[in-house]
C-alpha cells in the first residue's frame, strides 16, 4: 500500500499573550491509499489542529507534511490552495454553505472555481446531480439550504467534497451536530466512498463512528499516545464487536 499522507516530527505552536502553547508535539504517522483513519482523544488534545495542519489549512511550526509526494510547507499559497481544491475534500461539523445558492449550486461551486476541472457547466451540474442521487438527495437540488434537514445538508456537504474527485477527504466531527439516525447515514456514506477507493481521515468523538474505520489514532496533549488497528469494516454484522473492542481499548487509554 502506497502512502498518500506522510507526517514526520510535526509540531504546531501558537503564541498567546507572549506565551508558547505547544498544541502538537513531534507527531509522526502515515496514511495509506484507501485507508479510513479516525482521530480520537479528549477535548483540547489537538485533534482538529492536527487535521487542519496535515491538510494544509494551517501552517506547521516544524516538521514535515507530505501529501502525494508534495511537501506542503514548500508550496506557494496559490499552489497549496489549488492542491486543496482539486485533490482534497473537506467536511466539517458546521455545514458551511452559501445561503443565496441552491443545494446543487453549493455542491458544484468547487468545480466551478477549479481551473483544473475542464468540464462544462452542464457536465459539472450533471456530476453534482449524480452525486446527489447516490446519496439520496437528488430531489432537493433546487432547494435552499434552510429547506433541508441537518442530515440532508451534511450529505450535500459530502457531495460537495467529492465534486472534484479528490484523492482524500478530511472530516472534522462530520456527525457531531446530527442525531443518531442521520449520523449513521452520513457515516455509512463515508464508508461507501472509502470502499470505492477514496482515502478518509476524520476527527470524531463517537465510538460507533470510529468503529467503522480501519485504524484509530489516540491523541493526548498534542501527541499520539497509541493507535489501534481494527482492519477493514465489513458490514453491520461486525459493528457491535468492533465497537466493544474499541471501547475497551479507549478505556485503557484513559478515555
Element (H, E) at 225: strand 223-229
CA distance linking residue 159 with residue 57, whole number of Å: 20
**pLDDT value for 169:** 96
Q: Are 239 and 213 in contact (CB under 8 A)?
A: no
Segments forming the whole domain that contains residue 132: 3-252
CA distance linking residue 88 with residue 163, whole number of Å: 10
**pLDDT value for 150:** 87
**pLDDT value for 122:** 94
C-alpha cell at 145: 439550504
DSSP per residue over 35-52, as a string?
Answer: -EEEEE-STTSSHHHHHH
Total number of domains in the chain:
1
The two counts, helices (H) then strands (E), for the chain are 8, 10
**pLDDT value for 92:** 87
- Among 44, 3, 51, CA closest to 27: 51
**pLDDT value for 151:** 87
Q: pTM of the full predicted structure?
A: 0.92
CA distance linking residue 39 with residue 138, whole number of Å: 31
CA distance linking residue 230 with residue 246, whole number of Å: 8
Element (H, E) at 159: helix 150-162
Q: Are 126 and 98 in contact (CB under 8 A)?
A: no
**pLDDT value for 17:** 79
CATH number at residue 152: 3.40.50.300
**pLDDT value for 96:** 83
Q: Are 223 and 47 in contact (CB under 8 A)?
A: no
What pLDDT tens digit does each residue of the chain (255 aa) get?
A: 799 999 999 999 988 777 888 899 999 999 999 999 999 999 889 999 999 999 999 999 999 999 999 999 999 999 999 999 999 999 987 878 999 999 999 999 999 988 888 889 999 999 999 999 988 899 999 999 999 998 899 889 999 999 999 999 999 998 887 888 888 888 998 999 999 999 999 999 999 999 999 999 999 999 999 999 999 999 899 999 999 999 999 999 988
DSSP per residue over 61-127, as a string?
Answer: SEEEEEETTEEGGGS-HHHHHHHHHHHEEEEESS----TTSBHHHHHHHHHHH-SS----HHHHHHH
Amino acid at each position: 500500500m502506497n502512502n498518500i499522507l506522510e507526517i514526520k516530527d510535526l509540531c504546531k505552536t501558537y503564541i498567546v499573550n507572549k506565551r508558547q502553547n505547544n498544541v502538537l508535539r513531534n507527531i509522526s504517522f502515515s496514511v495509506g491509499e484507501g485507508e479510513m483513519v479516525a482521530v480520537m482523544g479528549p477535548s483540547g488534545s489537538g485533534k482538529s489542529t492536527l487535521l487542519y495542519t496535515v491538510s494544509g489549512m494551517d501552517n506547521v511550526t516544524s516538521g514535515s507534511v507530505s501529501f502525494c509526494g508534495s511537501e506542503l510547507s514548500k508550496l506557494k499559497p496559490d499552489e497549496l490552495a489549488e492542491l486543496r481544491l482539486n485533490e482534497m475534500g473537506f467536511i466539517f461539523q458546521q455545514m458551511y454553505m452559501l445561503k443565496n445558492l441552491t443545494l446543487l449550486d453549493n455542491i458544484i461551486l468547487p468545480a466551478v472555481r477549479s481551473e483544473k476541472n475542464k468540464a462544462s457547466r452542464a457536465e459539472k451540474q450533471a456530476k453534482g446531480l449524480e452525486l446527489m442521487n447516490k446519496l439520496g438527495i437528488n430531489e432537493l437540488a433546487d432547494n435552499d439550504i434552510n429547506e433541508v434537514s441537518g442530515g440532508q445538508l451534511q450529505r450535500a456537504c459530502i457531495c460537495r467534497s467529492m465534486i472534484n474527485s479528490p484523492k482524500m477527504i478530511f472530516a472534522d466531527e462530520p456527525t457531531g451536530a446530527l442525531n443518531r439516525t442521520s449520523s449513521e447515514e452520513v457515516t455509512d456514506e463515508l464508508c461507501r466512498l472509502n470502499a470505492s477507493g477514496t482515502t478518509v481521515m476524520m476527527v470524531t468523538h463517537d465510538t460507533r463512528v470510529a468503529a467503522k474505520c480501519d485504524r484509530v489514532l489516540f491523541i493526548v496533549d498534542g501527541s499520539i499516545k497509541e493507535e489501534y488497528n481494527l482492519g477493514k469494516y465489513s458490514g453491520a454484522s461486525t459493528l457491535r464487536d468492533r465497537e466493544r473492542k474499541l471501547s475497551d481499548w479507549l478505556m485503557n487509554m484513559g478515555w
